[in-house]
Structure 1
Amino acid sequence: MEEKRDIPEQHPPGTAVDNQTLQERICNPLSGIPRGHLMSDVEDFAARNGLQQHTAILKKGALIAQNPDQAYAIDGEEKLTPHELSVLERESTHKWHMPKRLLLTIATCSVAAAIQGWDQTGSNGATIFFRKYYGIDSAGPGDNIIIGLVNAAPYIGSA
Protein backbone atom coordinates (compact mmCIF):
# COMPACT_ATOMS: atom_id res chain seq x y z
CA MET A 1 0.00 0.00 0.00
CA GLU A 2 1.27 3.43 -0.90
CA GLU A 3 2.03 6.00 1.78
CA LYS A 4 -0.25 9.00 1.90
CA ARG A 5 1.37 12.38 2.31
CA ASP A 6 -0.29 14.72 4.77
CA ILE A 7 -0.80 18.25 3.54
CA PRO A 8 -1.74 20.40 6.51
CA GLU A 9 -5.15 22.04 6.35
CA GLN A 10 -4.87 25.80 6.37
CA HIS A 11 -8.55 26.55 6.87
CA PRO A 12 -11.29 25.01 9.02
CA PRO A 13 -13.20 22.24 7.22
CA GLY A 14 -16.47 23.29 5.64
CA THR A 15 -15.58 26.96 5.23
CA ALA A 16 -15.79 28.72 1.89
CA VAL A 17 -12.01 29.08 1.83
CA ASP A 18 -11.55 25.36 2.56
CA ASN A 19 -13.96 24.48 -0.27
CA GLN A 20 -12.01 26.72 -2.63
CA THR A 21 -8.77 25.00 -1.61
CA LEU A 22 -10.39 21.61 -2.18
CA GLN A 23 -11.57 22.73 -5.63
CA GLU A 24 -8.04 23.90 -6.46
CA ARG A 25 -6.63 20.54 -5.36
CA ILE A 26 -9.15 18.74 -7.55
CA CYS A 27 -8.26 20.92 -10.55
CA ASN A 28 -4.51 20.64 -9.93
CA PRO A 29 -3.41 18.09 -7.32
CA LEU A 30 0.12 19.55 -7.32
CA SER A 31 -0.89 23.10 -6.42
CA GLY A 32 0.15 24.24 -2.98
CA ILE A 33 2.84 21.59 -2.47
CA PRO A 34 6.13 23.24 -1.45
CA ARG A 35 8.84 22.89 -4.08
CA GLY A 36 11.19 20.87 -1.87
CA HIS A 37 8.45 18.42 -0.99
CA LEU A 38 7.42 18.10 -4.64
CA MET A 39 11.00 17.41 -5.73
CA SER A 40 11.32 14.79 -2.98
CA ASP A 41 8.09 13.15 -4.16
CA VAL A 42 9.41 13.07 -7.74
CA GLU A 43 12.67 11.46 -6.60
CA ASP A 44 10.73 8.85 -4.62
CA PHE A 45 8.47 8.16 -7.62
CA ALA A 46 11.46 7.76 -9.93
CA ALA A 47 13.21 5.41 -7.50
CA ARG A 48 10.08 3.29 -6.96
CA ASN A 49 9.51 2.88 -10.69
CA GLY A 50 13.09 2.43 -11.89
CA LEU A 51 13.15 5.82 -13.62
CA GLN A 52 16.20 7.32 -11.89
CA GLN A 53 17.79 8.22 -15.25
CA HIS A 54 14.75 10.42 -15.98
CA THR A 55 14.58 12.19 -12.59
CA ALA A 56 15.70 15.57 -13.96
CA ILE A 57 13.02 15.70 -16.67
CA LEU A 58 10.38 14.38 -14.26
CA LYS A 59 11.22 17.23 -11.86
CA LYS A 60 10.82 19.76 -14.67
CA GLY A 61 7.52 18.17 -15.66
CA ALA A 62 6.23 18.26 -12.08
CA LEU A 63 7.04 21.96 -11.77
CA ILE A 64 5.37 22.73 -15.09
CA ALA A 65 2.31 20.68 -14.11
CA GLN A 66 2.16 22.45 -10.75
CA ASN A 67 2.02 25.89 -12.36
CA PRO A 68 1.84 25.77 -16.18
CA ASP A 69 1.69 29.54 -16.59
CA GLN A 70 5.02 30.00 -14.80
CA ALA A 71 7.20 27.65 -16.86
CA TYR A 72 9.43 30.57 -17.83
CA ALA A 73 9.99 31.45 -14.16
CA ILE A 74 11.35 28.05 -13.09
CA ASP A 75 14.85 28.52 -11.73
CA GLY A 76 17.62 26.43 -10.24
CA GLU A 77 18.58 22.97 -11.47
CA GLU A 78 15.14 22.51 -13.00
CA LYS A 79 15.30 25.65 -15.17
CA LEU A 80 14.02 24.88 -18.65
CA THR A 81 16.35 25.21 -21.61
CA PRO A 82 15.42 27.59 -24.45
CA HIS A 83 14.58 24.55 -26.60
CA GLU A 84 12.25 23.13 -23.92
CA LEU A 85 10.54 26.50 -23.56
CA SER A 86 10.04 26.77 -27.33
CA VAL A 87 8.58 23.24 -27.45
CA LEU A 88 6.13 24.15 -24.65
CA GLU A 89 5.20 27.36 -26.46
CA ARG A 90 4.62 25.50 -29.73
CA GLU A 91 2.50 22.92 -27.94
CA SER A 92 0.17 25.61 -26.62
CA THR A 93 -0.01 27.65 -29.84
CA HIS A 94 -0.32 24.72 -32.28
CA LYS A 95 -2.49 22.23 -30.43
CA TRP A 96 -3.32 20.21 -33.56
CA HIS A 97 0.30 19.88 -34.65
CA MET A 98 0.96 16.31 -33.61
CA PRO A 99 2.23 13.16 -35.26
CA LYS A 100 -0.10 11.68 -37.86
CA ARG A 101 0.03 8.32 -36.07
CA LEU A 102 -1.30 9.92 -32.89
CA LEU A 103 -4.17 11.50 -34.83
CA LEU A 104 -4.88 8.12 -36.46
CA THR A 105 -4.92 6.47 -33.02
CA ILE A 106 -7.35 9.07 -31.69
CA ALA A 107 -9.65 8.66 -34.71
CA THR A 108 -9.52 4.85 -34.51
CA CYS A 109 -10.37 4.83 -30.80
CA SER A 110 -13.23 7.27 -31.38
CA VAL A 111 -14.75 5.09 -34.10
CA ALA A 112 -14.27 1.97 -31.95
CA ALA A 113 -16.08 3.65 -29.05
CA ALA A 114 -18.98 4.60 -31.33
CA ILE A 115 -19.24 1.04 -32.67
CA GLN A 116 -19.20 -0.41 -29.17
CA GLY A 117 -21.98 2.01 -28.23
CA TRP A 118 -24.05 0.84 -31.19
CA ASP A 119 -23.49 -2.80 -30.19
CA GLN A 120 -24.47 -2.07 -26.63
CA THR A 121 -27.62 -0.23 -27.71
CA GLY A 122 -28.58 -3.05 -30.06
CA SER A 123 -28.14 -5.81 -27.50
CA ASN A 124 -29.94 -3.85 -24.79
CA GLY A 125 -32.84 -3.10 -27.12
CA ALA A 126 -33.00 -6.70 -28.27
CA THR A 127 -33.24 -7.87 -24.65
CA ILE A 128 -36.78 -6.52 -24.56
CA PHE A 129 -37.92 -8.90 -27.30
CA PHE A 130 -35.68 -11.97 -27.50
CA ARG A 131 -36.32 -13.18 -23.95
CA LYS A 132 -39.85 -14.21 -24.79
CA TYR A 133 -39.04 -15.34 -28.34
CA TYR A 134 -36.37 -17.79 -27.15
CA GLY A 135 -38.26 -18.83 -24.03
CA ILE A 136 -35.78 -17.43 -21.53
CA ASP A 137 -38.13 -15.00 -19.90
CA SER A 138 -38.41 -16.66 -16.51
CA ALA A 139 -36.90 -15.06 -13.45
CA GLY A 140 -34.70 -18.12 -12.89
CA PRO A 141 -30.94 -17.74 -12.41
CA GLY A 142 -30.10 -19.71 -15.57
CA ASP A 143 -32.13 -17.40 -17.81
CA ASN A 144 -30.66 -14.32 -16.14
CA ILE A 145 -27.14 -15.63 -16.71
CA ILE A 146 -27.88 -16.15 -20.42
CA ILE A 147 -29.31 -12.63 -20.72
CA GLY A 148 -26.31 -11.22 -18.87
CA LEU A 149 -23.87 -13.01 -21.16
CA VAL A 150 -25.70 -11.79 -24.27
CA ASN A 151 -25.63 -8.21 -22.99
CA ALA A 152 -21.97 -8.53 -21.96
CA ALA A 153 -20.86 -10.04 -25.29
CA PRO A 154 -19.84 -6.69 -26.87
CA TYR A 155 -17.69 -5.89 -23.82
CA ILE A 156 -16.21 -9.37 -23.69
CA GLY A 157 -15.52 -9.26 -27.43
CA SER A 158 -13.76 -5.91 -27.25
CA ALA A 159 -11.64 -6.75 -24.21
Structure 2
Amino acid sequence: MTEKTTFGDINYTSQKDEYTSHKEQTIHDEAPARQGSVALNIVDNPLRRHDKETTVHDAVTFAESNGMADQAALFGRAALVARDPENFESIPDLTQEERAALVYERDHKWHGPKMLWYSIGLCAIGAATQG
Protein backbone atom coordinates (compact mmCIF):
# COMPACT_ATOMS: atom_id res chain seq x y z
CA MET A 1 0.00 0.00 0.00
CA THR A 2 2.99 2.24 0.16
CA GLU A 3 2.89 4.71 -2.67
CA LYS A 4 6.10 6.50 -3.59
CA THR A 5 6.15 9.92 -5.14
CA THR A 6 9.37 11.65 -6.05
CA PHE A 7 9.71 15.34 -6.54
CA GLY A 8 13.20 16.39 -7.27
CA ASP A 9 15.58 14.94 -4.68
CA ILE A 10 12.87 14.35 -2.06
CA ASN A 11 11.16 10.96 -1.81
CA TYR A 12 7.62 11.17 -0.43
CA THR A 13 6.02 8.02 0.89
CA SER A 14 2.28 7.91 1.49
CA GLN A 15 1.38 5.54 4.27
CA LYS A 16 -1.80 7.27 5.33
CA ASP A 17 -4.07 4.40 4.31
CA GLU A 18 -2.16 1.84 6.35
CA TYR A 19 -2.05 4.12 9.39
CA THR A 20 -5.74 4.99 9.20
CA SER A 21 -6.89 1.44 8.76
CA HIS A 22 -4.64 0.28 11.63
CA LYS A 23 -5.94 3.11 13.83
CA GLU A 24 -9.58 2.32 13.05
CA GLN A 25 -9.01 -1.37 13.70
CA THR A 26 -7.37 -0.59 17.05
CA ILE A 27 -10.32 1.58 18.09
CA HIS A 28 -12.83 -1.11 17.13
CA ASP A 29 -10.84 -3.83 18.87
CA GLU A 30 -10.66 -1.85 22.13
CA ALA A 31 -14.36 -0.98 22.24
CA PRO A 32 -16.26 -3.24 24.63
CA ALA A 33 -18.83 -5.52 23.11
CA ARG A 34 -22.37 -4.26 23.48
CA GLN A 35 -24.47 -6.36 25.80
CA GLY A 36 -28.15 -6.99 25.26
CA SER A 37 -30.66 -5.57 27.70
CA VAL A 38 -31.95 -8.07 30.20
CA ALA A 39 -34.77 -6.06 31.76
CA LEU A 40 -36.65 -4.96 28.63
CA ASN A 41 -38.48 -2.19 30.49
CA ILE A 42 -39.88 -4.37 33.24
CA VAL A 43 -41.20 -2.28 36.11
CA ASP A 44 -41.79 -3.95 39.44
CA ASN A 45 -45.26 -3.33 40.91
CA PRO A 46 -44.57 -2.16 44.48
CA LEU A 47 -47.97 -3.42 45.67
CA ARG A 48 -46.94 -7.00 44.89
CA ARG A 49 -44.07 -6.87 47.37
CA HIS A 50 -46.47 -7.50 50.25
CA ASP A 51 -49.33 -9.91 50.76
CA LYS A 52 -52.95 -8.88 50.14
CA GLU A 53 -53.75 -8.16 53.79
CA THR A 54 -50.77 -5.83 54.17
CA THR A 55 -51.63 -4.05 50.92
CA VAL A 56 -55.23 -3.45 52.02
CA HIS A 57 -54.10 -2.35 55.49
CA ASP A 58 -51.63 0.15 54.00
CA ALA A 59 -54.30 1.57 51.68
CA VAL A 60 -56.83 1.92 54.49
CA THR A 61 -54.22 3.55 56.72
CA PHE A 62 -53.33 5.98 53.94
CA ALA A 63 -56.97 6.96 53.43
CA GLU A 64 -57.59 7.43 57.15
CA SER A 65 -54.43 9.45 57.72
CA ASN A 66 -55.31 11.81 54.85
CA GLY A 67 -58.84 12.65 55.95
CA MET A 68 -60.68 10.16 53.75
CA ALA A 69 -61.82 7.68 56.39
CA ASP A 70 -65.25 7.39 54.74
CA GLN A 71 -63.53 6.09 51.58
CA ALA A 72 -61.06 3.77 53.35
CA ALA A 73 -62.79 0.55 52.23
CA LEU A 74 -62.78 1.79 48.63
CA PHE A 75 -59.04 2.49 48.90
CA GLY A 76 -58.50 -1.07 50.12
CA ARG A 77 -60.40 -2.56 47.17
CA ALA A 78 -58.63 -0.21 44.76
CA ALA A 79 -55.26 -1.34 46.12
CA LEU A 80 -56.22 -4.94 45.39
CA VAL A 81 -57.10 -4.00 41.81
CA ALA A 82 -53.87 -2.03 41.41
CA ARG A 83 -51.93 -4.96 42.85
CA ASP A 84 -53.11 -7.30 40.07
CA PRO A 85 -54.92 -5.30 37.35
CA GLU A 86 -55.14 -8.16 34.84
CA ASN A 87 -57.10 -10.38 37.25
CA PHE A 88 -59.49 -7.86 38.81
CA GLU A 89 -62.48 -10.04 37.91
CA SER A 90 -61.35 -12.69 40.39
CA ILE A 91 -61.22 -10.30 43.38
CA PRO A 92 -64.14 -11.29 45.63
CA ASP A 93 -64.21 -7.99 47.55
CA LEU A 94 -65.38 -5.96 44.54
CA THR A 95 -69.06 -5.20 44.11
CA GLN A 96 -70.83 -6.07 40.84
CA GLU A 97 -71.07 -2.37 40.04
CA GLU A 98 -67.31 -1.84 40.50
CA ARG A 99 -66.49 -4.94 38.49
CA ALA A 100 -68.79 -3.82 35.65
CA ALA A 101 -67.16 -0.37 35.61
CA LEU A 102 -63.68 -1.93 35.42
CA VAL A 103 -64.75 -4.25 32.59
CA TYR A 104 -66.16 -1.26 30.70
CA GLU A 105 -62.93 0.72 31.19
CA ARG A 106 -60.87 -2.24 29.99
CA ASP A 107 -63.01 -2.75 26.88
CA HIS A 108 -63.44 0.95 25.98
CA LYS A 109 -60.01 2.49 26.58
CA TRP A 110 -60.57 5.59 24.46
CA HIS A 111 -64.05 6.45 25.71
CA GLY A 112 -64.25 9.98 27.04
CA PRO A 113 -66.21 13.21 26.76
CA LYS A 114 -65.81 15.16 23.52
CA MET A 115 -64.51 18.22 25.35
CA LEU A 116 -61.73 16.13 26.90
CA TRP A 117 -60.51 15.06 23.46
CA TYR A 118 -60.96 18.61 22.16
CA SER A 119 -58.79 20.03 24.93
CA ILE A 120 -56.14 17.30 24.45
CA GLY A 121 -56.03 18.02 20.71
CA LEU A 122 -55.89 21.76 21.29
CA CYS A 123 -53.00 21.40 23.75
CA ALA A 124 -51.16 19.09 21.34
CA ILE A 125 -51.50 21.57 18.49
CA GLY A 126 -50.36 24.40 20.76
CA ALA A 127 -47.33 22.41 21.87
CA ALA A 128 -46.46 21.53 18.28
CA THR A 129 -46.65 25.15 17.11
CA GLN A 130 -44.59 26.35 20.06
CA GLY A 131 -41.85 23.87 19.28
Alignment of 1:30 with 2:52, yes or no, is: no
Q: Which has the larger radius of gyration?
A: 2
Gapped regions of structure 1 (runs ≥ 5)? 1-18, 119-159
Query: Could you report, residue by residue, the CA deviation over 1:4-30 in whole angstroms, capped at 9, with x for unpaired residues?
Result: xxxxxxxxxxxxxxx97xx76x34221
The answer (yes or no) to whether the contact 2:59–2:72 under 8 Å persists in 1 is yes
What residue is the counterpart of 2:84 in the other structure?
Answer: 67
SS of 2:105 mapped into structure 1? helix
Q: Paired residue for 1:43?
A: 60
115, 118, 121: which is aligned to 1:104? Answer: 118
Kindly indicate whether the alpha-carbon contact (under 8 Å) linking 2:80 and 2:91 is maintained by their aligned counterparts in 1. yes
Give the aligned partner of residue 33 of structure 2.
none
Structure 1 CA distance for aligned equivalents of residues 66 and 126 of structure 2:
32
Supply the AA of the counterpart residue of 2:54: H
Partner of 2:5: none
Deviations 1:63-111 (A, max 9, x none): 1110012212212xxx112221111111111111112232233223323
Question: Which residues of 2 match residues 10-159 of structure 1 at below 5 A?
Answer: 26-75=43-92, 79-116=93-130, 118=131
Equivalent position SS for 1:30:
helix
> What stretches of structure 2 of length at least 5 have no aligned partner?
1-37
Q: Structure 2: which amino acid aligns with 1:72?
A: E
Runs of 4+ aligned structure 1 residues displaced above 6 Å come to none
Q: Which has the higher strand share?
A: 2
Q: Whose helix proportion is higher, 1 or 2? A: 1
Q: 2:57·2:76 contact (CA, 8 Å) conserved in 1?
A: no
| Percentage of matched positions with identical amino acids | 33
What's the TM-score once normalised by structure 1's chain length?
A: 0.50
CA 1:109–1:57: 2 relative to 1, 3 Å: farther
RMSD (Å) for aligned C-alpha atoms: 2.2
Would you say how many aligned residue pairs link Structure 1 and Structure 2?
A: 93
The one-character-per-residue Cα deviations of 1:118-151 (angstroms, maximum 9, x if unpaired) are: 2xxxxxxxxxxxxxxxxxxxxxxxxxxxxxxxxx
